[in-house]
A = this chain, B = another copy of it.
């Protein structure tokens, strides 16, 4: 394999030809990929077994993510077919304006160019993300986890074969395999337009801190729920429990609960009942870290200052009592990670204030923070969730892999004519 720099330099040079492909070719590549994956199912499972055999030392959750079985195969194939069926995201005209007679400006969606994707363990992520890159006309260099080496190799070679058969140029897609190639990739800001890291927080933070390439993602998900004085306490207890326990390892799971002082005794009493039921049914136990004021109302361990703003990613919850929505908002903007935060209230004005003042990618009322997800937003497929305010924020669908270019069609116009006052701009928006 060529060194990474050579690979992405070549990729950059072929990327305009990928931009210029017809929508039908990109669609055909996705359908062919699904067909090839199903046709080679046996071989794929064989390769995956090799990875699993070498993974004895791994923790159980990591091993689970490494498995690529008939269920996962069918899920990714259906995903590719759904992507193929979506309206073409490339070449959409989002602005058309007559600047003057015979001088028309258009803004057209185009692929970003060369995407670097670095992900841990899950072989299904390789298929999903390369599918999104094919759909959006982007080239991609993919770096998977070494524990999935055999699975990634066969999956990548089938995706690549599908792309080539649909007319994608040689060199549009590449797989990087060794860990030291990450460092080289991070230095390729001349050729790679965007990096998408998928993995643990420390992994994403490392990528963000060590490259000048723009990074799409989030390093932390410290989500809050504020139970307001005007909350429906029974529904509030359900939502809090869901946000904390339904999948605690997710970035959109609840980490800190803020409760209005005015309803704290009543809320904790309802919550204690609900928690008891949950613990009995699941056999799991929630660990509550509370301030002294919480401890007076609810059995808990003492919370340290560092517990607020911390992403536990397990069944631990930090709890604090606040005076009102404004104190909750101040806490969230200070300690949060600007991912997703919710208020539980029946009061419209308080909710409106919370929506305006909380500076997060997702701001919710009366539902679980766990809804922060591209599938649940109806985006079909998800590139990742961004806590950046630049380019894309929140769950990012295929639109996050697109930019635009401005096209002007003229008939010989010079700027001097307008600067001299001989001609003037008329600025008339046309239908797109």
Interface residues of A (CB under 8 A from B): 13, 15-17, 19-20, 97, 99, 103, 105, 112-113, 193-194, 209, 212, 214, 232, 235, 238-239, 241-243, 246-247, 329, 333-334, 351, 353, 355-368, 370-372, 376-378, 388-391, 393-395, 403-416, 418-419, 425, 427
Min Cβ gap A226→B in Å is 14
| Other 9 A-B pairs with CB < 8 A, given A390-B391, A393-B406 | A20-B357, A97-B377, A97-B378, A105-B378, A193-B389, A238-B414, A362-B406, A389-B403, A393-B403
A/B interface sample: 19 pairs, CB < 8 A: A16-B357, A16-B358, A20-B356, A97-B378, A99-B371, A194-B389, A209-B212, A243-B414, A243-B415, A362-B408, A363-B406, A363-B407, A363-B408, A364-B407, A365-B409, A366-B411, A367-B414, A371-B408, A377-B406
Q: How far is it, in angstroms, between the C-alpha of A353 and the C-alpha of B16 when the chains are bound? A: 11
Q: How far is it, in angstroms, between the C-alpha of A212 and the C-alpha of B213 when the chains are bound? A: 10
Helix, strand, loop or mixed for chain A's interface? mixed
Find out whether the CB atom of A364 lies under 8 angstroms from the CB atom of B410: yes
**Assuming the A-B contacts A368-B415, A425-B378, are A353 and B20 also in contact, with contact meaning beta carbons closer than 8 angstroms in the complex?**
yes
Min Cβ gap A177→B in Å is 27
Residue of A20, A214, A415 with highest tally of chain B CB at under 10 A: A415
A403's contact among B334, B390, B406, B419, by CB below 8 Å, is which? Answer: B390
Find out whether the CB atom of A407 lies under 8 angstroms from the CB atom of B367: no
Q: Nearest 5 A-B pairs (CB), nearest first?
A: A367-B410, A242-B414, A235-B412, A370-B415, A378-B427
Min Cβ gap A161→B in Å is 25
Q: How far is it, in angstroms, between the C-alpha of A54 and the C-alpha of B406 when the chains are bound? A: 42
**Assuming the A-B contacts A376-B99, A378-B97, are A15 and B359 also in contact, with contact meaning beta carbons closer than 8 angstroms in the complex?**
yes
A413's contact among B358, B367, B393, by CB below 8 Å, is which? Answer: B367
Q: How far is it, in angstroms, between the C-alpha of A390 and the C-alpha of B103 when the chains are bound? A: 27
Q: How far is it, in angstroms, between the C-alpha of A389 and the C-alpha of B329 when the chains are bound? A: 34
Find out whether the CB atom of B19 lies under 8 angstroms from the CB atom of A367: no
Residues of B with C-beta under 8 A to A97: 377-378
Q: How far is it, in angstroms, between the C-alpha of A365 and the C-alpha of B103 when the chains are bound? A: 10
Min Cβ gap A337→B in Å is 12
Q: How far is it, in angstroms, between the C-alpha of A241 and the C-alpha of B412 when the chains are bound? A: 12
**Assuming the A-B contacts A17-B357, A356-B19, A390-B390, are A408 and B99 also in contact, with contact meaning beta carbons closer than 8 angstroms in the complex?**
no
Find out whether the CB atom of A113 lies under 8 angstroms from the CB atom of B359: yes
Residues of B with C-beta under 8 A to A232: 412
Residues of B with C-beta under 8 A to A193: 389-390
**In the complex, what residue of chain B is closest to A354 when comparing beta carbons?**
B407
Find out whether the CB atom of B393 lies under 8 angstroms from the CB atom of A391: no
Min Cβ gap A191→B in Å is 12
Q: How far is it, in angstroms, between the C-alpha of A332 and the C-alpha of B238 when the chains are bound? A: 59
Q: How far is it, in angstroms, between the C-alpha of A338 and the C-alpha of B45 when the chains are bound? A: 44
**In the complex, what residue of chain B is closest to A15 when comparing beta carbons?**
B359
Q: How far is it, in angstroms, between the C-alpha of A105 and the C-alpha of B394 when the chains are bound? A: 12
**Assuming the A-B contacts A353-B20, A391-B390, A405-B393, are A239 and B359 also in contact, with contact meaning beta carbons closer than 8 angstroms in the complex?**
no
Q: How far is it, in angstroms, between the C-alpha of A99 and the C-alpha of B404 when the chains are bound? A: 28
Residues of B with C-beta under 8 A to A394: 404-406
**Assuming the A-B contacts A377-B105, A405-B361, are A414 and B368 also in contact, with contact meaning beta carbons closer than 8 angstroms in the complex?**
yes
Min Cβ gap A408→B in Å is 4
Find out whether the CB atom of B368 lies under 8 angstroms from the CB atom of A19: no
Residues of B with C-beta under 8 A to A366: 409-413
Find out whether the CB atom of A246 lies under 8 angstroms from the CB atom of B415: yes
